[in-house]
Amino acid sequence: TVADEDRIGALGWQAASASRPPAAGGVTDMADRATELGVDIAVPTVYRYLTHTRFGGHLLPQLNYTIWFPARERESRFDLLGGHLDGITFRVTLGADGDVLAADAVHNCGCYHLFFPSSRIRLKPQPATLEETAFAPQTLPEITAGERLTMRIAQHTHFIQRVWVTSLNTGGADAIRYAQTNYDALRTLPLSADRSRSAFGADGIVPGTERRERYFYWPMGVPNAGAMRGRGHHATAFVGRRYFDDPWLFETGFEAVR
């Protein structure tokens, strides 16, 4: 953590910055144009939701945890990846016995999809194709009682550098505690005393989070590439078709270790 852009917080509507143009999507009147989505780093928050996937003939639960950063600040006018808001969704897939089968993570734009399989599963042989296939940079460490999964996240880029296990007591008095809340709260964020509005437009994209990379990647078929998205709208490959919420994702890419 080097700057405020590296701190997680609660997503909410706030007074728009004079340095940015009004966000498109869902704006209905001039009062709305004076607001934009921002992250309150004084309220560290993780948004959670439940999904399911198919694997080995079972319907398995998946625990999803989404965090939001205020920005990935642009480093220059040629920076294609920087912009307003940033975030990561980390997902833990449980086996039929309730133990952790795998984890995977994606940035909230749908990019940088990483898999962390446990020792109980492995990647299937990858087909000889130009399409993007599952990328598993490391095996998930074993977790025992009194331990928790920990992510190391790079400053500024917010790339996941490592997933490992630490003691529940790690951090001590210097640890920053975060609140957990239901992801669905993002669909009705307070806009004023008597009004609310979703963080997502009708297309599932978070308004005001456009990246300049969209001008280069539009031929790949991903609308507004680089912009932040809500659950159910994460295409995770530019070459081929792959989606974060595909219920057959793990069945297609992995197999059980016999």
Tell me the pLDDT tens digit for each residue of 103-127: 999 999 999 999 999 999 999 988 7
Higher-pLDDT residue of 184 and 1 is: 184
What is the pLDDT, as a whole number, of residue 168?
83
The average confidence (pLDDT) of the chain is 90
Give the pLDDT confidence score for residue 159 in this predicted structure: 96
Q: What is the model's pLDDT at position 28?
A: 47
- Give the containing element (helix H, strand E) for 216: helix 214-217
How does DSSP classify residue 213? T
What are the pLDDT digits (tens) for 27-69? 444 455 668 999 999 999 999 999 999 999 999 999 999 999 9
Of 30-34, 36-40, 72-76, 211-215, minimum mean pLDDT range: 30-34
Contacts 24+ apart (CB under 8 A), 161-165: 162/138, 163/103, 163/116, 163/138, 165/141
pLDDT band for position 239 (cuts 50, 70, 90) = confident
CA neighbours within 13 Å on the CB side: how many for 44?
Answer: 9
Query: What token pair was written down for 193?
Result: 């005393």
Q: Which of the two residues, 241 and 162, has the higher pLDDT score?
A: 162
Neighbours of 137 (CB within 10 A): 11
User: Looking at residue 39, what is its pLDDT?
Assistant: 97
What's residue 238's pLDDT? Answer: 81
User: Which amino acid is located at 61 in the chain?
Assistant: P
- Cα angle, residue 204 at apex, residues 254 and 29 outer, rounded to 5°: 170
Question: Which range has the worst mean pLDDT, 16-20, 51-55, 175-179, 245-249?
Answer: 16-20
Phi, psi of 27 (to 5 degrees): -80, 125
Total-model pTM: 0.90
* pLDDT at 189 > cutoff 90: yes
| CA–CA dist 205, 227 (Å, integer) | 7
